[in-house]
Amino acid sequence: MNKWLSLFVLSLCIGVAHGDDYPSLWDSTDPVMQAGMDKLLKSRGLSDAVATGRLALAVVDISEPQHPRLAVVNGDRMLYAASLPKIAILLGAFVEIENGRLQPDAKLWKDMHRMIRHSDNGAATRVLRAVGHERLLKILQQPGLALYDPEHGGGLWVGKEYSGKGAYKRDPLHGISHGATAMQVARFYYLLETNRLVNAELTARMKEVLALPAIPHKFVKGLKSLPRARLYRKSGTWKDYHADSVLVEEGQHRYILVALARHPDAGKWLVDLALPLRDLVMQTAREQMTSPAGEKSN
């Protein structure tokens, strides 16, 4: 009996050690990439938008998953994010598929694709109801995921259907119905890419749903000169709120761009920032490779 107990404890320790292979994004700031982002935002006249909290931005190079490199402004500032939090509904559906509580029939797959690629509100509401309002909020806050965490300003939150009905539960910190922080959205994609949202098989299906975005604006428009890049994306727009998020696979490189903004011109901001942010990731990656002794900047 003691032998089996010892093996069980050992297996738990191995699991914990494996989890520790991935650092917290909050501890992964790259000073060179951060300086580059700050310079870029200043050159584009966006310093005031950052200072007043109207622009939150996170860029993460995860080409080496165990050594992510982050640049961020207002990362823990929660903003209304319109349709971007539909990625939280997608996560809820996949978690419930994995634990056997939800059967992935043809109708559900179609709704998930339409919810993400076309941002279909009716499809999003149907998937949300299949998961359950309260169940989704528990998933977002559960230990290990903590995609909504009061200690980090909140995060992904869905407290209202994408329908004419009112909010059923606004987030406890800010009273937002469909909200996000740049850091928690970046974590969503980082956890996705490292198979820590759901198992590897379901991760592949989840990425399939996020691929081939059908709305060619914001980051997608800004990255259109990269035809070989594969984009996994969800955006959001409502009045002067503009949000976008994308995981990009480009050759051997993997990087995440997330932006949340409130301004009438913010959609154009994201178009104009997409390629320079991508170039910043590539430039700092090259500099890191040629630095003495291959020192890590994080």
Rg (Cα) of the chain, in Å, rounded? 19
Contacts for 19 with CB less than 8 Å, ≥ 6 apart: 196
Ordered domains of the chain (ranges, CATH):
26-290 (3.40.710.10)
Q: What is the pLDDT of residue 287?
A: 87
Bridge partners of 71? 59
Q: pLDDT for 37-50, tens place per residue?
A: 999 999 999 999 99
Q: What is the pLDDT of residue 288?
A: 80
179 token code pair = 């909200």
Q: What is the mean pLDDT of residues 177-182?
A: 98
Q: What is the pLDDT of residue 14?
A: 34
Q: How far is CA 38 from CA 24, 43, 46, 60, 100, in A?
A: 22, 9, 9, 15, 45
Whether the pLDDT of residue 197 is over 90: the answer is yes
Whether the pLDDT of residue 194 is over 80: the answer is yes
Q: What is the mean pLDDT of residues 196-205?
A: 98
Q: pLDDT for 4-26, tens place per residue?
A: 333 333 333 433 333 458 999 99
The strand order across the sheet containing 157-158 reads 79-80, 178-180, 157-158
> How far is residue 161's CA from residue 156's CA, in Å, rounded to a whole number?
14
Q: pLDDT for 243-274, tens place per residue?
A: 999 999 999 999 999 999 999 999 999 999 99
Interior angle at CA 115, CA 233 and CA 181, nearest 5: 50
3 state SS of 85: coil
Q: What is the pLDDT of residue 290?
A: 74
- Torsion (CA) 283, 287, 289, 291 in degrees, nearest 10: -170
Whether the pLDDT of residue 294 is over 70: the answer is no
48, exposed or middle or buried, with CB in 10 Å at 0-12, 13-18, 19+? exposed
Q: pLDDT for 50-96, tens place per residue?
A: 999 999 999 999 999 999 999 999 999 999 999 999 999 999 999 99
Q: Mean pLDDT in the chain?
A: 92
